Structure 1
Amino acid sequence: MSSQNLPDMRDLQQPLIPSSDRKSDGQEKLTIDEMLQKYCGEFGKWQLKHFILTSLAWALEAFHTMVMIFADRDPKWWCTGPDCWAQAQICGLPPGSWDWVDGPGSSTISEWGLMCDDKYKVGLVQALFFFGCMIGAGIFGHLSDSSLGRKGSLTTICLLNGILGCLTALSPNYLVYTFLRFLSGLGTGGVGMCAFVLATEPIGPSKRGVAGMSTFYFFSTGIALLSGIAYLFPSWRSLYVASSIPSILFVTFIIPFLSESPRWFLVRGKAKDAMKVMRLMAQSNGRILPQDVHLVLDDDANNTNYVENPKDDGSPIEEREAIKGSLRDVLRSPVTRLRLYLAVVINFCCAIVYYGLSLNVVNLDTNLYLNVLLNAVAEMPAYTLTAIMLNKFGRKPLTIGTMWFSGVFCLLATMMKSYGTWKILRMICGVLGIFGMSGTYNLLFIYTVELFPTVVRNAALGCATQASQMGAILAPLVVVLGTRLPFALFSICGIFGGLLGFYLPETLNRPLYDTMTGMEEGEAIWIS
């Protein structure tokens, strides 16, 4: 699809499918977006409560992902013998001439001797965790679109993470620890994806973008809280327990108050359940949803041939067989195939830059807890600015702009020397680079969600998340290449990813499609 045919053809503030007055036998048939705009409210009290409770899962993802920074940290050591004081490195020192300041249980490195020739094992654990995330994103992306649903998948993931995190604290050796971290990655890879979709699908089109961008505040807050938890629990074993229990508490006390997505109910042929959620939403928002209004999928919007079954209150509601979708359907459609390829590559490039620049925090010779806290806080202004500009400039220009912003400053960093004022300027360029890419990382979630219909949304988002995790796996390998070369590669990824953004369509104020047919018909109207 040519990019020149998209945003300049018509006013992006106008919905692609106008509000409908479709009626059959006195029944008004509306899509979910139309019902939200006309009767239920796009972002009322119900959506606010549901959004906050669901997005708490993002903090849990931050706990399980970033705990490695503290559990696998380089602990401090001190000399105990006369042959030690002239050395600045542990490697080469005779046994008994040095010891760990906080004891062997403060870190996995000190407990299992993962230094010197075995230092690579620390990076191996982290890479396998992200490899697990990549696989888990695909698995739970499929399950959340099919049998488990959004809420069921999130419940399973959080319970799995809580149990595995506590078991990790009992690891008797390095091999068991590595295996359990890989299994934790399987669950962690799907947390943010399922929470994001479940939180944003019940929100109306004009509010969905800003709300979706706001989910990342919970992730950054989780990182900030983790630095405090790590300070209170200096032992790596106690830290894993302390950072895992919140996931079990989330399943016990928060999940029961969440509703399944009405969009998932609808595409699974459960129109009655979808209408129950919509009526509860309207009631909580102080709105009235008439009895003669019910939901239809976008590909049925103009079809009046329905089989109507009575509800308990006697009013008719439409039922149909569940509509299933898979990645095969995404690849089969010319509309979604190109979108998937672009989303995968752009997410891959974004993750290499984001995680690559973030990993430098462990290389700074300052307080680790404070560094992680400041790094988390520094990302929040990027989320705020992108949220403010999202509905003004649109998803496409903002994606291109933030990636180029990061790429340009990474390019400038390659020109800086490693001493004096140049060293400070390089640090500033790195901060601005992660500032821009944080905005991109945030934006890509809402953008990817809007590019695909409900029936395959999480499967497509799972692929994009898998690509992101692949970038996270490669990021540490890029960081060890030296000083200038990593910045050069980060710059290439940022600028190239921005260029690919030109081939994506704008989704500002466009409807969230439910089916592949509905999207293809909608895009045909848009292009014409």
Structure 2
Amino acid sequence: MADSSATTPLLVDYDSANVDPQTTETTTSSFFNLPPTSLDSIIEKVTKNSGFAQFLQAILVSLSWLFDGQQSFISIYADAQPTWHCTATDVNIKNSTCNPSSSNICQLSSSSWAWDRPPFTTTISDFNLQCSSSIVSGLPASAFFFGCLLGGFILATLGDSSLGRKNLLFLSSMTMSVSALLTSFAGNVWIYSALRFASGFGRASIGGCALVLSTEMVSRKWRGQVGIIGFFCFTLGFLSLPWIAYVNRNSSWRVLYLWTSVPGILYCALIFFFVSESPKWLFSQGRNEEAVASLERFGEPNKSHSSSLNLYLSRIPLVVVDHRQQETPPSFVDHYASLRSLFSKRWAFRRLLTLMVLSIGIGMIYYGMPLGVGNLGFDTYLSVVFNALSEIPCFVITFFFIGRWNRKPSVLAFSLISGVCSILCVLAVRSKWVQIGLELASFFCGNTAFSILLIYTLELFPTSVRNSATSMVRQALVFGGMFSPVLISAGRDNEFLSYGVFGIVTICCGLSVFSLPETRGESLCDTMDEQERKANATCGAIDPNATGASV
């Protein structure tokens, strides 16, 4: 006799089968010996007994942040303003006007000065940009950030729609790394800027996509810790740059791009062959069999529980809850449905807007602090090392305490402390060591606030829009960072216009967190409707019929 259980589908869609779970006969009554569950509950069950598989996946996915960090800050050295000296002939001339500390290099004859290092060490000297306008010399960095902004809007939604988390991570990482490789062959500043734009465009969705993919594979107990792994990898990428630059200090700037792009391309192969797709995303797309196969791969390392895991999965009725997805014709894929969902629901729009405002304030601190240390009289090279090293204890502390910290008060506290320390940098004008200490404290707290903020974002939005929401928050960080160079330039004459403004903006933005709900220990929702019902059940704060901005 054939085993009747063999014909029982692993995932049951009650709507398509027209089955009422409350009136099902005894042939399927065993399905309801267990309480109703969700995909998040299944992941909880799997990770309880086989967390090592998820940990390896999280490490592999989070490594993408390392290459992201390198490309984000590589311009500090590739586009650095090189030092120069007066030639011996000119120095020996009486009443010589050549003085490296006070002379304008553009007003001197080409024979009266020379670069301290070979001209090919930075793009400024290699492309003869020392006398170009600030717009031209700063074009590569500006193009990179603009590419990040544009790529964030265009690519972010693909992680929630057609491509999924894994494919988008592969596409973004490959685009960034290949563009960086081609950058090393750029012949002028215009080609160089175009390739930096392409690299920024690809880089835009890496962090958010890696964060979402890694955290959707694990239980809520380890969600915060797994998210911190990516931040730590980003710090390693940031910290690796000074050492790579120092080893190649007399080599061409092109070598820096080779050193960072080739390993990135090899890493993309690991993503393609060894990373699994998020089971939560697969389920949200109706690809139920693939979702279960992904979960079973997570359970394989723990052989003693494999049989019980299969039995558990076979008894879980996973119901397709978002009927609107089934109404869409199979031949049409709406890539921007997730963004429309975020903007059409008033509660989602409010949450996203609040998180983005807070991220803009933190972005000024994160990108502005390392750039502005030169205004305090410190060596830029060493300041990068100090700021990168300060990120390590930030992520270590967050890793061990994220499970105990409530999200809302933690983000608020670290934002306020970061802002206060930034303002104090202006007041402590008599001691450079006190100033650098306050700068590092502000940078540390701003980093910690953003780390918690990204975990907070994951928990505030459902699977169907989570990647888009996370990417939007990260783009707000970049948007805030775009103002930093302007303020740093103005701060050379008045420090309050840099560090003072950073502090005030961060404090004001941090206060907006009061409007958000607490999420620590909460399960992740899969659809917008589920998120609304959950909020209504807890505090009745969300009106499911409320709509926001039309798109």
Residue 200 of structure 2 aligns with which residue? 185
Q: Do the aligned partners of 2:50 and 2:301 also contact (CA within 8 Å) in 1?
A: no
Match of 1:258 among 275, 291, 297: 275
> In the superposition, relative to structure 1, how do residues 94 and 322 fare at CA in structure 2: closer, same or farther (>3 Å)?
closer
Provide Cα deviations, 1:116-154, integer angstroms capped at 9, x if missing partner.
453443333212211110111122211111111110011
Q: CA deviation at 1:277?
A: 1.1
Residue 76 of structure 2 aligns with which residue? 69
Alignment of 1:447-466 (within 5 A): 447-466=456-475
Query: 1:172 is paired with a residue of what secondary structure?
Result: coil
Q: CA deviation at 1:346?
A: 1.0
Residue 408 of structure 2 aligns with which residue? 396
> In the superposition, relative to structure 1, how do residues 140 and 86 fare at CA in structure 2: closer, same or farther (>3 Å)?
closer
**In structure 2, how many angstroms separate the alpha carbons of the residues matched to 1:215 and 1:297?**
32
Letter matched to residue 430 of structure 1? E
**In structure 1, how many angstroms separate the alpha carbons of the residues matched to 2:113 and 2:376?**
23
**In structure 2, how many angstroms separate the alpha carbons of the residues matched to 1:401 and 1:475?**
23
Residue 51 of structure 2 aligns with which residue? 44
> In the superposition, relative to structure 1, how do residues 498 and 389 fare at CA in structure 2: closer, same or farther (>3 Å)?
farther
Match of 1:329 among 341, 358, 363: 341
Match of 2:310 among 255, 272, 290: 290
Q: CA deviation at 1:367?
A: 6.0
Residue 17 of structure 2 aligns with which residue? none
Q: Do the aligned partners of 2:98 and 2:108 also contact (CA within 8 Å) in 1?
A: no
Q: CA deviation at 1:213?
A: 2.2
Letter matched to residue 443 of structure 2? I
Match of 1:123 among 125, 138, 142: 138
**In structure 1, how many angstroms separate the alpha carbons of the residues matched to 2:376 and 2:424?**
21
Alignment of 1:83-482 (within 5 A): 83=96, 85-88=98-101, 89=103, 90-233=105-248, 234-286=251-303, 287=305, 288-291=308-311, 292-294=314-316, 296=318, 299=321, 325-361=337-373, 369-417=381-429, 420-421=430-431, 423-482=432-491
Provide Cα deviations, 1:212-232, integer angstroms capped at 9, x if missing partner.
123211011111222222223
> In the superposition, relative to structure 1, how do residues 297 and 409 fare at CA in structure 2: closer, same or farther (>3 Å)?
farther
Letter matched to residue 153 of structure 2? G
Q: CA deviation at 1:85?
A: 4.8
Q: CA deviation at 1:285?
A: 4.0
Q: Do the aligned partners of 2:143 and 2:197 also contact (CA within 8 Å) in 1?
A: yes
**In structure 1, how many angstroms separate the alpha carbons of the residues matched to 2:184 and 2:377?**
27
Letter matched to residue 310 of structure 2? P
TM-score scaled by structure 2? 0.83
Which range is displaced more, 339-348 or 371-380? 371-380
1:507 equivalenced with 2:519 (yes/no): yes
Letter matched to residue 290 of structure 1? N
**In structure 2, how many angstroms separate the alpha carbons of the residues matched to 1:35 and 1:514?**
13
Q: CA deviation at 1:193?
A: 1.1
> In the superposition, relative to structure 1, how do residues 485 and 367 fare at CA in structure 2: closer, same or farther (>3 Å)?
closer
Q: Do the aligned partners of 2:363 and 2:481 also contact (CA within 8 Å) in 1?
A: yes
**In structure 1, how many angstroms separate the alpha carbons of the residues matched to 2:487 and 2:198?**
25
Q: Do the aligned partners of 1:155 and 1:251 also contact (CA within 8 Å) in 2?
A: yes
> In the superposition, relative to structure 1, how do residues 429 and 43 fare at CA in structure 2: closer, same or farther (>3 Å)?
farther
Q: Do the aligned partners of 1:143 and 1:149 also contact (CA within 8 Å) in 2?
A: yes
Query: 2:221 is paired with a residue of what secondary structure?
Result: helix
Query: 1:520 is paired with a residue of what secondary structure?
Result: helix
Provide Cα deviations, 1:34-92, integer angstroms capped at 9, x if missing partner.
11223442871111100101100000101111111110012121221314654423242
**In structure 2, how many angstroms separate the alpha carbons of the residues matched to 1:117 and 1:230?**
24
**In structure 2, how many angstroms separate the alpha carbons of the residues matched to 1:361 and 1:285?**
50
Letter matched to residue 296 of structure 1? L
**In structure 2, how many angstroms separate the alpha carbons of the residues matched to 1:268 and 1:46?**
24
Match of 2:30 among 26, 31, 42: 26
Aligned length: 487
Identity %: 32
Q: CA deviation at 1:266?
A: 0.3
> In the superposition, relative to structure 1, how do residues 427 and 40 fare at CA in structure 2: closer, same or farther (>3 Å)?
closer
Letter matched to residue 457 of structure 2? T
**In structure 1, how many angstroms separate the alpha carbons of the residues matched to 2:148 and 2:264?**
17
**In structure 1, how many angstroms separate the alpha carbons of the residues matched to 2:195 and 2:458?**
31
Letter matched to residue 176 of structure 2? N
**In structure 2, how many angstroms separate the alpha carbons of the residues matched to 1:382 and 1:86?**
43
**In structure 2, how many angstroms separate the alpha carbons of the residues matched to 1:365 and 1:411?**
17
Provide Cα deviations, 1:145-164, integer angstroms capped at 9, x if missing partner.
11111100111111111211
Match of 2:536 among 498, 514, 524: 524
Query: 2:437 is paired with a residue of what secondary structure?
Result: helix
**In structure 2, how many angstroms separate the alpha carbons of the residues matched to 1:329 and 1:135?**
20
Q: Do the aligned partners of 2:212 and 2:458 also contact (CA within 8 Å) in 1?
A: yes
TM-score scaled by structure 1? 0.86
**In structure 1, how many angstroms separate the alpha carbons of the residues matched to 2:425 and 2:52?**
46
Query: 2:114 is paired with a residue of what secondary structure?
Result: strand
**In structure 2, how many angstroms separate the alpha carbons of the residues matched to 1:364 and 1:129?**
26
**In structure 1, how many angstroms separate the alpha carbons of the residues matched to 2:339 and 2:473?**
12
> In the superposition, relative to structure 1, how do residues 119 and 295 fare at CA in structure 2: closer, same or farther (>3 Å)?
farther
Q: Do the aligned partners of 1:452 and 1:513 also contact (CA within 8 Å) in 2?
A: yes
Q: Do the aligned partners of 1:78 and 1:101 also contact (CA within 8 Å) in 2?
A: yes
**In structure 2, how many angstroms separate the alpha carbons of the residues matched to 1:430 and 1:374?**
10
Q: Do the aligned partners of 1:326 and 1:456 also contact (CA within 8 Å) in 2?
A: yes
Gaps in structure 1 of 5+ consecutive residues: 1-20, 308-320
**In structure 1, how many angstroms separate the alpha carbons of the residues matched to 2:286 and 2:254?**
46
Query: 1:95 is paired with a residue of what secondary structure?
Result: coil
> In the superposition, relative to structure 1, how do residues 73 and 363 fare at CA in structure 2: closer, same or farther (>3 Å)?
farther
Q: CA deviation at 1:382?
A: 1.7
Q: CA deviation at 1:25?
A: 3.9
